[in-house]
Chains A and B, each alone.
Chain A
Amino acid sequence: MHSLNYHKASNASEAARLLSGTEDGKFLAGGQTLIPAMKTRLAAPSDLVDVSGAADLRGITVSGRDVTIGAATTHAEVAASGELRNVCPSICEMAANIGDPAVRHRGTIGGSIANNDPAADYPAAMLALGATIKTASREMAADDFFVGLFETALEDDELITSIGFTAPEAGAYAKFPNPASRYAMCGVFVARGDGGVRVGVTGAGADGAFRAGEFEAALGGEFSAEALNGISVNAEEMLSDIHGDGVYRANLVSVMARRAVAAAS
């Protein structure tokens, strides 16, 4: 890892101020992706501004069915929140299966979606839940936020402050983990709410997480695994690598979608 200057921010505005004074600084949340990337020198920021202890970026609030999760809230906190589980158990279950217990104690929801790893779990959930991603200056719909592989609509110096969504009536996430890395080879989050059915897919798309429109239309008519018979995503738009080609991944999307619908029904 290259030399760097470390700064600790106690709140979001201090974090923004600290970053603005750096040459090529980055925000550090849980560091479960950024630190490994720095070790391999895929990332070499001059400065790190640690937001993991920023009080105004932490915590979960549930008001009726409206959920707000602070960006620096850890996966373990999302998984263990009884209040959140009461209205949206699917996101708790999803968070409980990210990485491993030690990673979940450090890794954060804001860090995960800002990184937008094509095999990360949270982007699928954000798309399916129709989440709003908030920063100090604006709000973005998840549909506009995830741009491509490791790319988001965030500006370089823009910090996610919280994520908001309305808990769906029913939802579930089904994941086929890579047997070695345990990252999603394919993960499908299905949510049925007032606005219809939304299906978010991670791990499979060549351009990162995406919504499966045809699946959504079919499930909007009848919310059952059988409704997905004969429908599939385009294999040519799927990732193809040593772990599985596009045809394999397209099939996984169908299988995981059926499992998620069955679990949510």
Chain B
Amino acid sequence: MSTVSMTVNGKAVSADVEDRTLLVDYIREHLRLTGTHVGCDTSQCGTCVVHVEGKAVKSCTMLAAAAEGAEVTTIEGVANGDLHPMQRAFNDNHGLQCGFCTPGMIMSGIDMVNRYKAEGRTLDEAAIRHELEGNICRCTGYHNIVKSIAQAASEM
């Protein structure tokens, strides 16, 4: 057991956990922030995507201990009073059906828009589809997810 401390959604948090604890379990079981999901638990599906130091990572494939001292943002931390433009865009475009993959889609969407803006690259439809390589949705067929991210990219 070790005490693992980090900043999650702007708040300092700490928990005594086994060294083998995955970041996603730390977030869900110890912090009770259950918006971050576990779909496949094999790094494929992307429902567990959170931001660590501003970068999208699969929290099922990272140890909590490796995030010691880090700034972590989960789906619960993206809205600032109002919905985040990415959340609003998913709402406007019906970018979901069952909603299970949506937290990961939104976290990956925000990450890709931020990166493309920082690098001065254009996030067109083909780029969005390529960037969604690691996020699986079994309901929508992706069309409305792509539309949602494109809308948010123009607003962020």
User: Taking each of B22, B43, B119, which has the highest tally of chain A beta carbons within 10 Å of its own beta carbon?
Assistant: B43
Apart from A1-B22, A6-B66, A35-B61, 15 more pairs, CB < 8 Å = A1-B20, A3-B19, A8-B66, A31-B62, A36-B42, A50-B66, A52-B66, A99-B133, A101-B133, A102-B56, A102-B108, A102-B111, A103-B134, A105-B56, A106-B61
Residue of B nearest to A99 (CB): B134
B70 → A minimal CB distance (Å): 10
* Contact between chains at B20 and A2 (CB < 8 Å): yes
Question: Which has the most chain A C-beta neighbours within 10 Å: B2, B46, B65, B119?
Answer: B65
Given contacts A39-B41, A39-B42, are A101 and B61 in contact (CB under 8 A)? no
Report the separation of the CA atoms of residues A40 and B104 in the bound assembly, to the nearest whole angstrom.
23
Interfacial chain B residues near A103, Cβ < 8 Å = 43, 58, 61, 134
Known contacts A4-B19, A8-B68, A100 near B61 by CB under 8 Å:
no
A63 at the interface (CB under 8 A from B): no
What 1/0 mask marks residues of chain A from 34 to 50 whose CB sits below 8 Å from any chain B CB?
01100100000000101
Q: List 21 A-B contacts (CB under 8 A).
A: A3-B18, A3-B20, A4-B19, A6-B20, A6-B63, A31-B61, A31-B66, A35-B22, A35-B63, A48-B63, A76-B55, A99-B133, A100-B46, A100-B134, A101-B56, A101-B112, A102-B49, A102-B56, A103-B43, A103-B58, A105-B55
Interface 0/1 of B59-97, CB less than 8 Å to A: 001110110100000000000000000000000000000
The smallest C-beta distance from B144 to any residue of chain A, in angstroms, reads 20
- Is A137's CB within 8 Å of the partner chain B? no
Alpha-carbon separation in the docked complex, A219 to B93 (Å): 51
Bound-complex Cα distance A31 to B18 (A): 17
- CA distance in complex: A3, B108 (Å): 31
Q: Which residues of A contact B (CB under 8 A)?
A: 1-6, 8, 28, 31-32, 35-36, 39, 48, 50, 52, 76, 80, 99-103, 105-106, 182
The CA of A100 and the CA of B43, in the complex, are separated in Å by 10
Task: For the complex formed, measure the closest distance between the CB of B133 and the CB atoms of chain A, giving whole angstroms.
Answer: 4
Q: Contacts A6-B19, A8-B65: A106 and B133 contacting too (C-beta < 8 A)? A: no
With the chains together, A31 CA to B134 CA distance in Å? 16
* Distance between Cα atoms of A100 and B108 in the complex (Å): 10
How distant is the Cα of A35 from the Cα of B20 in the complex, in angstroms? 10
* B137 on interface, CB distance cutoff 8 Å: no
Whole-angstrom CA separation of A76 from B134 in the bound complex: 14
Say which residue of B41, B119, B134 sits within 8 Å of A101 (CB atoms).
B134
Neighbouring A residues of B68 by C-beta, 8 Å: 8
**How far is B1's CA from A4's CA once the two chains are assembled, in angstroms?**
10
Q: Is B57 an interface residue when CB atoms closer than 8 A count as contact? A: yes
Point out which of A2, A31, A101, A106 has the most chain B C-beta atoms below 10 A from its C-beta: A101
B111 neighbours in A (Cβ, 8 Å): 101-102
B153 to A: closest C-beta gap in Å: 15
Cα distance A50–B64 when bound, in Å?
Answer: 12
- Output the least CB separation between A7 and chain B (Å): 9
Shortest CB–CB separation between residue B67 and chain A, in angstroms?
11
Q: Which of B19, B20, B52, B133 is within 8 Å of A100, CB to CB?
A: B133
Give chain A nearest CB distance to B52 CB in angstroms. 8
Taking CB atoms, residues of chain B closer than 8 Å to A80 are: 119
In the complex, are the beta carbons of B20 and A102 less than 8 A apart? no
In the assembly, what is the distance between CA of A16 and CA of B144, in Å?
49
Q: In the bound complex, what is the Cα–Cα distance between A257 and B142 (angstroms)?
A: 33
Q: When the two chains form the complex, which single residue of B22, B43, B56, B63 contacts A32, counting CB atoms closer than 8 Å? A: B43
Q: Which residues of B contact A76 (CB under 8 A)?
A: 55
Taking A6-B2, A6-B63, A39-B41 as contacts, is the C-beta distance between A102 and B58 under 8 angstroms? yes
Most interface-central of B2, B46, B58, B62 (chain A CB within 10 A):
B58
